[in-house]
Structure 1
Amino acid sequence: MIKRFLLTAFSLMLVSTASTVPASAQPRINQEIASNNLGTTQTTVRLSPADLAHFAYRGYFKSQSIKGYGSLIQDHNTGKVSAKDIVQAAVNTHHLPASTLDDRGYLNAVDNQLRDLNLH
């Protein structure tokens, strides 16, 4: 009987936690998209390489022909998508300044983040 009670309590705790987290957490890129739709094309926030890689992984650059999730990892591994392609997509959508395309350190960091995603 105690096992049953604990299992029920644990299940309820998981369900309540899972249902409240997505409602309260809006990805930073969505906030940036909203702010960029206010009529300005200026980029005010620079995404970190880790954020950029994760947003690409989640499919936020699908409109820029960059697939998400496993397809992104496969395309990166086969050379169809590079870190520069993802940075270009972020530049095109006004999430990064164009000068980021010339920042080798940033591009290398995005590339490393994509490799790390492949390992997980």
Structure 2
Amino acid sequence: MKSVIFGSLSVLLLSAGFAPNTLAQQAETARSSATTGSSAATTYRIEPFNLAWMAYQGYFEAQGIPAGRTLIAAFKSADISARDIVQAAAKSGRLPSEFSPDSSYLGAMEITLGKIAAR
């Protein structure tokens, strides 16, 4: 009985130690400092996973990106791409207008949208 209690307690303590790291990885924005001229500006970059979910939840409807299953259908039929969502996020002010995603960022968004579609 003691081994079960101590084993459970050990697992609980270990999981509590890893939880802050997991939550930090799931944060909506990653902060980075950029210096422009003599003034310092702070920019925010939304992680691809979160940007895909924001589109699914309707954050970019005002920019012409449909929400929910309509977004998934448009994505599957190639009417909307990951790049379109990034551009909508920039227009809405959620991403800096000068943000230029690389192929891995766009690929991660496409994977997330594909997983959402599979649900």
Alignment TM class, shorter chain as reference: 0.5 to 0.7
Following the alignment from structure 1 to structure 2, what is the Cα–Cα distance between the partners of residues 92 and 58?
17
Partner amino acid, structure 2, of 1:86: I
More helix by share: 1
Q: Residue type matched to 2:82 in 1?
A: A
TM-score, length of structure 2 as denominator length: 0.61
1:43 to 1:65, Cα distance in 2 relative to 1, 3 A: farther
Aligned to 1:74: 73
Contact 1:45 1:96 in 2 (8 A): yes
What's 2:102 paired with? 103
TM-score by length of 1: 0.61
Residue 61 (str. 1) matches residue 60 (str. 2): yes
Provide the C-alpha distance between the structure 2 equivalents of 1:60 and 1:43, rounded to a whole number of angstroms: 22
Structure 2: gaps spanning 5 or more residues: 1-27, 30-40
Q: Deviations over 1:23-66 (max 9, x none)?
A: xxxxx69xxxxxxxxxxxx7732111011000000011000110
Q: How many residues align?
A: 81
- Give the corresponding residue for 2:116: 117
**Mapped contact 1:43–1:97 kept (Cα < 8 A):** no
CA RMSD across the alignment: 2.0
Does the residue aligned with 1:105 lie in a helix, a strand or coil? helix
2-side partners of 1:102 and 1:44: how far apart?
14
Q: Whose strand fraction is larger, Structure 1's or Structure 2's?
A: 2
The letter of the residue matching 1:95 is: R
Query: What is the aligned-residue identity percentage?
Result: 37
Distance 1:94 1:55 in 2: 13
> Structure 2 matches for 1:35-54, cutoff 5 A?
44-54=43-53
Query: What stretches of structure 1 of length at least 5 have no aligned partner?
Result: 1-27, 30-41
8 Å Cα contact 1:88-1:101 kept in structure 2: no
